[in-house]
Amino acid sequence: MEIEIVEIPKIELRWSNWYPWNNIFEDARSGGIKIPNKIAGVYQVRYIDSEEMLHIGRANDLRMRIRQGLVKGKSPHSAGESIREKEDESRLVVRWAITDRPCAAEEDLHRKYVDRYGKWPLYTDHT
């Protein structure tokens, strides 16, 4: 049997502010929120008055994944349709952090969330 040890360096996430879901819907050119374009990262969705997340996800292109997939539904998103159908979007907020290792960051955010709350975010079912 061959054994290999993988050492993963720390990832520093510098989170954006929390932005209202409805402000993200509007394009930045029309006064909406500017989301990094063609840049990888992780993002979170929650109610403005809650610490618990509704969704924690990763993206190779934050703007495309958040605005077009999650919020607008113009591209496929694992949680977007359910959130749009079942939640009060006027109370939702979204934030993101840029990282060149979104898979590793997402996995760690999921682990920390489950450790803290004993469950996955409501609309997240896998890493």
* pLDDT confidence bin for 116, thresholds 50/70/90: very high
All structural domains of the chain, each given as residue ranges with its CATH number in brackets, are 19-117 (3.40.1440.10)
Residue 9 tokens read as 């360096």
Global confidence as pTM: 0.93
* pLDDT confidence bin for 99, thresholds 50/70/90: very high
Mean local confidence (pLDDT), 101-127: 94
Contacts from 46-49 at CB under 8 Å and sequence distance 24+?
46/18, 46/92, 46/93, 47/91, 47/92, 47/93, 48/18, 48/20, 48/91, 48/92, 48/93, 49/91
Task: Kindly report the average pLDDT of the chain as a whole number.
Answer: 95
